[in-house]
Structure 1
Amino acid sequence: HPALSIFDAPDHSVSVSKRQETNTPLQALVLMNDPTFVEASKVLGERMLAYPEISKSIEDTFRRLTGRKPNPKELQILLDLRENEYRKFKADHNKTKGWLASGEYQIPPDLDPFHLAANAVTASAIINSDAFLTKR
């Protein structure tokens, strides 16, 4: 897969005991635009709708993706991002439709598209974070 070379995955013909640590702008582009990661964001955004509190849904999604709970500052940044994205999607229905129509994953029609899209963008931000990419 082409993304493997962007993340400096070793060639399949050799064996390595330790992977090289890198972080490049190309990696961010892949995480934000590759259909695989866009689809994953949409599915995670849909799962986030099942929680009664948005802070709990963000906290749980962050934990699932990074293996740890977000610190209070990270959680607040993600809550602010989600709220801002919700407002943008609510104001521009075409943007919402465009975001949710990309990819193969079909969104159930009974779900709130504005909350779902805002959640998906929030999940995408978590996927694009250093906490997701690098396990320390």
Structure 2
Amino acid sequence: KTKKSDTEHEPLMLAGLNPLYTVYDIYDSDHTLIGAIGYSNYEPYEGDKDSVQVVYSALRLGSVYRFDTDSRYDVVKTNKYGTTALTTVVYQDGANAEPVNNWGILSYNNEKECFVAVELESNSVSESQVLEIAKSIEF
């Protein structure tokens, strides 16, 4: 893995959220680490199996690192089994630290009861590239 500078956040926090998540690094053509992708099963809630709060609860609730679905959850693709949406990944190491915002993609399938989470460095990947990646996710 390549770290661009001492002040930049490496997009690998996704791997540390739950040791049961399978997470892979994402590199650009120069072999620079620009993101991570992971997937996991989730426990559906009987009353609402499509609730963003339920599906992504482990990713939404962190105080240092979180997929901020409350501020941004822009659905880019939907079908009868779930949605794919763009969101913001927020990393803030300490109350006085400046937050780092990266691109986030979340996609779930309620039939298979699993989700995919992607974090991409906002300095390395354009919004149009993120949108193209999001639209390409299939279960």
Verify same fold: TM over 0.5.
no
TM bucket by the smaller chain?
A: 0.3 to 0.5
More relative contact order, 1 or 2 (CA 8 Å, 6+ apart): 1
User: Going by fraction, where is strand more abundant, 1 or 2?
Assistant: 2
